[in-house]
Structure 1
Amino acid sequence: MRVTVTGAAGQLGSDAVAAFTASGADVTGLARAELDLADADSVEHGIAATRPDVVVNCAAYTAVDACETDVEAAHEVNEYGVRRLAQACADVGAHLIHISTDYVFDGRLDRPYRDDDATNPQSVYGRSKLAGELAARDVLGDAATVVRASWVCGEHGNNMVKLVRRLGAAGNPMAFVDDQRGCPTFTADLAEALVAVAGQRPGGVLHLTNGGAVSWYEFVAEILEASGYDPGLVSPIATDELDPPRPAPRPANSVLDNARWVALGNSPLRHHREPLLELVERL
């Protein structure tokens, strides 16, 4: 199987290249310098040159708060760039696995979000990512699989685990919200699951997260404890107590139901505490 991974230098892209390589696939990892979703010629050339069976799109404009003021750039990458990529996939007959986000939901449901629940993004980032989902499926139909993840953490790039470990090392008190809940998703586990998605190519939407729903406050306490720091350093606050408030609204409920993944014959991803401990050891 020939696989091209976009955003290959990023947090998930790095682990996706490693996982597909370990699976025996013929993998080409393209970082932004080699395939820029905002550049139509770059997208067309990158896919035409590699002629993959499967493209895994890990590239995105992910600066959630910056998207609120950089609206055009967010849509250029997360919407129009995905449409360009989908068309390039159509040109070579490739299946597109497009990584999306819990931010496509408004977070108001009192249960985990299923893949067929109504979307209602509340931020520019969420709207641009939803537009990208729709663009991929509009161009490719069932030759596109949208994989939504949440609270992504990994060895590469910046994420909550690395931030909290830095704060913990300084020993200063910190406060995180306890009214936003989700399932932390670790890139090493998600990347391995993407190998299975590439084999199955189910089309449509899949939710893929590690198990164990927590608030940000609870997750931070877990990170501190796993890292050997005092979990008492963190205190809970409400979102409306943040000072200054975050520019982009976050879903209060980001828990994603992975039922379709399991219905396809796959095992649920592990509880997030297991890959958290593994990541802390690697860091």
Structure 2
Amino acid sequence: MKKILITGADGQLGFELQRSLPAGFECLATDKDALDITDAQAVNTYVDEHKPDVIINAAAYTAVDKAEEETELAIAINTTGAKNLAQAAKDKAIKLVQISTDFVFDGKACSPYTVDAITDPDGYYGKTKRDGDNLVVDILGDEALIIRTSWLYSSHGNNFVKTMLRFMLEREELGIIADQIGTPTWANSLANAVWKSIELDTTGFHHWSDAGVASWYDFAYAIMEEGVSLGLLDKEITINPITTADYPTPASRPCYSVLDKTVTWKALGLKSDHWRVALRKMMKELKAK
């Protein structure tokens, strides 16, 4: 029975990893109260006591706008935390799966970012994640595994899908950004890719998101259509496309952050569902709840 340590277990990916745990694995699910990854001694003590075979670092500071002010906290979790886990993994010969983000890229591309594309994040969230990834590679070398993903959502926790459904029940009209392009990703899809990566002992940089591309406007419109179809919404409302300039935020977002999954699909022998297919599956779960 292999032991899997999951950090950030109370998050969307942590939830999906736990419910899709393969046979033959014991799950050590930790949140920030159970394991403070910013504390190197706490990490070493936990690893020494529980002796996991694999660590999945799904913990992250993801408040993109707040990271512009709470920089030290973002660094502590996204950069120092990743470093502490990587060092413990190296010292104890444990496999580490580091979960990363499309925000490590500059968002100025016009074609999907490959796994070896240059990282040049604009905001502090992306910078702290990029720096954490780099430290993992510095410490673990060729044994490092970093999986970047994008626009994550789940039936668990807070996310764009659930926020849109709430707004669509409360309002008659919404303005949604149409000039930021990426790919929505069901956290269940990512969890399955993580488990396959562990099974195959994959290493290096990899990308996983669902298939296809969308703007936030496209994503919101699809949520409305699926919501009405499933009876989660009683009617369609007006959704207006707006620009990034119409909705300024403290942190800038990538205008284009589509990830090229070719390398990962080949390595894992898996392909993602189209994001609309995945969205429908997740929203059926919401209805069942």
Task: Give the TM-score range, shorter chain.
Answer: over 0.9
Within 5 Å, give how 1:123-162 maps onto structure 2: 123-162=123-162
RMSD between superposed Cα atoms in Å: 1.3
- Counterpart position of 1:96: 96
Question: Once the two structures are superposed, what CA deviation does each residue of 1:113-138 show, in whole Å capped at 9, x if it has no partner?
Answer: 00001111000000000000001111
**1:13 aligned partner:** 14
Paired AA for residue 262 in structure 1: W
User: How many pairs are equivalent?
Assistant: 280
Match of 1:273 in 2: 276
Which of 235, 244, 248 matches 1:239?
A: 244
Secondary structure of 1:64's counterpart equals coil
**CA-CA distance at 1:45 after TM superposition:** 2.0
* 2:3 aligned partner: 2
SS of corresponding position for 2:20: helix
Q: CA deviation at 1:265?
A: 4.3
For the structure 1 residues 231 and 147, does the alpha-carbon distance in structure 2 shift closer, same or farther, using more than 3 Å as the test? farther
Q: Which moved more, 1:139-148 or 1:124-133?
A: 139-148
Q: What are the superposed Cα offsets for residues 160-217 of structure 1, whole Å, 9 maximum, x if unpaired?
A: 0000010111133111111101110111111111100111222210000001100000
2:259 aligned residue: 256
Secondary structure of the equivalent of 2:117?
coil
TM-score normalised per structure 2: 0.94
CA–CA separation in structure 2 for the residues paired with 1:132 and 1:42: 18
Aligned twin of 1:41: 41
Letter paired with 1:2 = K
Runs of at least 4 residues off by over 3 Å:
229-232
**Ranges in structure 1 where 5+ consecutive residues have no aligned partner:** none
CA contact (8 A) 1:23 1:195 kept: no
1:264 alignment partner, SS class: helix
- 8 Å contact kept, 2:145–2:204: yes
Relative to structure 1, the CA distance from residue 207 to residue 278 in structure 2 (aligned partners, 3 Å threshold; closer, same or farther) is: same
Give the AA of the match of 2:47.
I
The residue identity in structure 1 corresponding to 2:239 is V
Give ranges in structure 2 of 5+ residues lacking alignment: none
Q: CA shift at 1:153, angstroms?
A: 0.3
AA aligned opposite 1:17: Q
- CA distance in 2: counterparts of 1:148 and 1:11, whole angstroms: 15
2:163 match: secondary structure: helix
Is contact 2:4–2:26 with CA below 8 Å preserved after alignment? Answer: yes
Residue aligned with 1:8, SS: coil
Partner Cα distance (2:176, 2:49) in 1: 46
1:134-160 per-position Cα deviation (integer Å, ceiling 9, x unaligned): 011111112220000000001211100
Distance in 2 (alpha carbons) for counterparts of 1:195 and 1:77: 23
- Do the aligned partners of 2:181 and 2:256 also contact (CA within 8 Å) in 1? yes
State the distance in 1 between where 2:86 and 2:199 align: 19
Alignment of 1:213-224 (within 5 A): 213-224=213-224
Q: Which amino acid aligns with 1:261?
A: T
How far off is 1:47 after superposition? 2.0
Is 2:71 the counterpart of 1:81? Answer: no
Percent identity for Structure 1 against Structure 2 = 36
Map of 1:191 onto structure 2: 191
**Other structure's SS at 1:90 match:** helix
